[in-house]
Amino acid sequence: MAGTNRFAGRTVLVTGADIYMGPAISERFDMEGARVIRDTGDYADAEAPARIIAAAGTVDVLVINLLPVKMRRCPVQEVSEEAWQDMFAALVHPTMRFIKAVLPQMIERREGKIVVVTSAAPLRAIASAAAYTAARGAQNALVLAAGAEVARHNVQINAVGQNFVYGGYPADAMDKPEIREAVLREVPSQRIAEGWEQAELVLFLASQNSNFICGQVIPFAGGWVTTG
């Protein structure tokens, strides 16, 4: 897995660089020679994304990697208004703000890549995670719509719809016995993926080799979801 300098001279901005898939993705872009801007900001502020993008200058690749502050599994009827709003504030609204902030420069250059790390949850229901699933579904639908819209400018927006990845969400879940049992029973690959494997898909979607792929949510879940 030695790097081959595929992203030399490219600037990659990774949001949430210290959470979720941020560390694995940042490290992998490093290895490929990219200039990686590891953003670890607080995205509660609606102005933050515009400021962060402005400060970054040219952004060739934007990886939108976001997590809820906390997630408590509970029946749908017990999700509090606050938990619901927090979920959308953490996942959905910053996604839109980052896309809006970076698109003008990408459209002007007629080149750019946005990869949103989302979830496979909206592709196959997970019990007791209604708010999370709805918010991830909003991200996925936004990727589909915005991706189809800006493809004509040679800007590609895609999502990785993941599950069962180390470093994934919730961070400690992957070591729980019930997750391991679920993996053996429900995940055709019968294992949990390493973070670098997920990062490889992000790199592929961020490269000039995937310019014809746009507006897609690519499942990354060991066969747990099916598409096609």
Interacting span for a second copy (CB under 8 A) from 14-22, 37-45, 56-64, 125-133: 125-133
Is residue 123 a contact residue for a second copy (CB under 8 A)?
Answer: yes
Q: Using CA atoms, how far apart are residues 155 and 136, in angstroms rounded to an integer?
A: 22
How much of the chain is in helix, strand and coil states, percent to nearest 5? Answer: 45, 15, 40
Asked if residue 159 lies in contact with residue 117, where contact means CB atoms within 8 angstroms, the answer is: yes
Per CB under 8 A, the segment of 9-17, 33-41, 54-62, 127-135 that binds a second copy is: 127-135
Residue 203 CB, shortest distance to a second copy, in Å, is 8
Q: Which of 54, 85, 176, 181 binds a second copy (CB under 8 A)?
A: 85
The smaller minimum CB distance to a second copy, of residues 18 and 133, is found at 133
63 sits near a second copy (criterion: CB under 8 A): no
Residue 71 neighbours by CB distance under 10 Å: 18
Subset of 37-56 contacting a second copy (CB under 8 A): 46
DSSP 76: G
Least distance in angstroms from the C-beta of 225 to a second copy: 8
Nearer to a second copy, 18 or 163 (CB): 163
Give the distance, in angstroms, between the CA of residue 171 and the centroid of all CA atoms in the same chain.
15
Tokens 């703000």 label which residue?
97
Q: Does 34 bind a second copy (CB under 8 A)?
A: no
Is residue 209 part of the contact set for a second copy (CB under 8 A)?
Answer: yes
Q: Cβ of 72: how many Cβ atoms within 10 Å?
A: 13
Q: Is 219 in the site for a second copy (CB under 8 A)?
A: yes
Q: Does 129 bind a second copy (CB under 8 A)?
A: yes
Contacts (CB under 8 A) with a second copy, residues 2-21: 4
User: Which of 61, 90, 143, 206 touches a second copy (CB under 8 A)?
Assistant: 143
Strand (E) or helix (H) holding 51:
helix 48-56
Q: Which residues, 6+ apart, have CB-to-CB distance to 5 below 8 Å?
A: 32, 33
Indicate the residue among 23 and 219 with the shorter CB distance to a second copy: 219
Instruction: For the segment 158-187, give every residue that binds a second copy (CB under 8 A).
Output: 159, 161, 165
Q: Contacts with a second copy: how many residues (CB under 8 A)? A: 81
Residue by residue, DSSP assigns 78-139 as G--HHHHHHHIIIIIHHHHHHHHHHHHHHHHHT-EEEEEEEESGGGS--TT-HHHHHHHHHH
**Which of 14, 117, 121, 206 is close enough to bind a second copy by CB under 8 A?**
121
